[in-house]
Amino acid sequence: MAGLRKVGVVGLGAMGAGIAQLCVEAGLETVGREVSDELGGRAKERIAHFLTRKVEKGTLEQAERDAAVERLSLTTDLAALAGCDVVIEAIVEELEPKRALFAELERICRADAVLASNTSALSVTEIAAATSSPERVVGMHFFNPAPLMPLVEIVRAELTGDGPFETALELAVLLGKTPVRCHDTPGFVVNRVLIPLLNDCIRVLDEARVKPEDLDAAMRNGAGWPMGPCELADLVGIDVHVHASEALYAKLREPRMAPPPRLVAMRNAGLLGRKSGRGFYTYDDAAQRR
Ligand code: CAA
């Protein structure tokens, strides 16, 4: 698509807010949609915080930061996405709410607008099938934290058209990312490998009777990981990881995909990692819980 100008982001949780931050930093007019003003306001505050940190660290000019924050408009009304060139969905990882949203977006958005899902473990094809124009539905899977992780998987669903696929690729490049092309298979590329690997790591905790901090040190120092598996599970969210594991297990039926009981118990107890203040580690500092 010539001249991407305006992008919508639906769902401004940790991933959606990170994606919206990338969009405003890239100079795109960005419409962020949340279900309440309060949640939208919280996301804008999060984005403003991280951009302010960049100013404090000398990697962004104050005027650029202010202009970027200005480029984000908030709404609770999906109709405000009507003029967007691309809409990126980052709502709850449940198939039916996503399908309902895409059916609604199809009615609201311009016929040439690209509709992208940030789903990490659901089928983009099944989401696209809720619309009568599946050729414009594509996966754009960002990694957590979205502003820092270079990769975006550009996922071709069964009926994705070449034009929308290339537009999603073009947008990822505009956002400063390193996109890879792949087809719509369970877990795409990274999660197909990373989810069973993290599950193995958690099982090793019990089997080798090793402490989380020692397992993390082992994987950082012995395998070159930037952060250990327990730190990573806390960052991603224990609930998010368990949910993604369950979704992949349901599709692939490989035992390694199934979430380890220890993680399920943590999820059930509300030990969700950074966002709840407690997971494998404790996060007392409000900044660590962002
Ligand atoms: N959003 C925006 N900005 C952020 C941020 C966030 N969530 N988190 C941190 N920042 C900013 C902060 O301002 C921070 O600086 P200050 O702390 O001084 O304010 C700055 O970025 C640098 O942060 P760090 O010092 O923490 O950066 P780092 O060099 O330690 O790297 C990291 C952090 C990139 C997360 C690195 O540890 C890493 O690569 N970890 C592995 C992450 C990973 O594997 N992610 C994939 C998860 S799997 C997934 O996402 C798939 C899925 O579908 C669930």
Write out pLDDT tens, residues 51-88.
999 999 999 999 999 999 999 999 999 999 999 999 99
Alpha-carbon distance of 240 to 147, in angstroms, equals 18
Q: How far apart are CA 84 and CA 139, in angstroms?
A: 17
For the CA of 141, the nearest atom of ligand 1? 53
Task: Give the position, in ligand 1's atom list, of the atom nearest the Cα of 18.
Answer: 1
Give me the residues of the chain with pLDDT under 50, please.
Answer: none
Which of 243, 41, 119, 175 has the alpha carbon at shortest distance from 102? Answer: 119
Contact between 230 and 198 (Cβ < 8 Å) = no
Q: Which candidate, 132, 113, 175, 127, places its Cα nearest to that of 155?
A: 127
Pocket test for ligand 1, best of 22, 56, 148 (most atoms within 8 A of CB): 148
For residue 246 the two structure tokens come to: 């369950």
pLDDT of residue 22: 98
Q: Phi first, then psi: what are they for 13, rounded to 5°?
A: -75, -160
Spacing, Cα 54 to ligand 1 middle (Å): 13
The predicted structure's pLDDT at residue 2? 66
Q: pLDDT at position 56, please?
A: 98
Look at residue 64 in the predicted model and tell me its pLDDT: 98
Burial of 103 (0-12, 13-18, 19+ CB in 10 A): middle
Q: Is the peptide bond before 145 cis (omega within 30 degrees of 0)?
A: yes
Return the H-helix or E-strand segment holding 63. helix 62-70
If you count them, how many residues does the chain have?
A: 290
pLDDT given for residue 3 in this prediction: 87
pLDDT at 266: 98
Minimal-distance CA residue to ligand 1 atom 44: 232
* Eight-class DSSP state of 285: S
- Alpha carbon 186 to its chain's center: 16
pLDDT of residue 286: 74
Q: What is the pLDDT of residue 59?
A: 97
Q: Tally Cβ neighbours within 10 Å of residue 213.
A: 13
∠ CA 241-193-288 to the nearest 5 degrees? 40
Instruction: Give which of 239, 14, 8, 1 is closest to 149, Cα–Cα.
Output: 14
Pick from 243, 239, 224: nearest CA to 274: 239
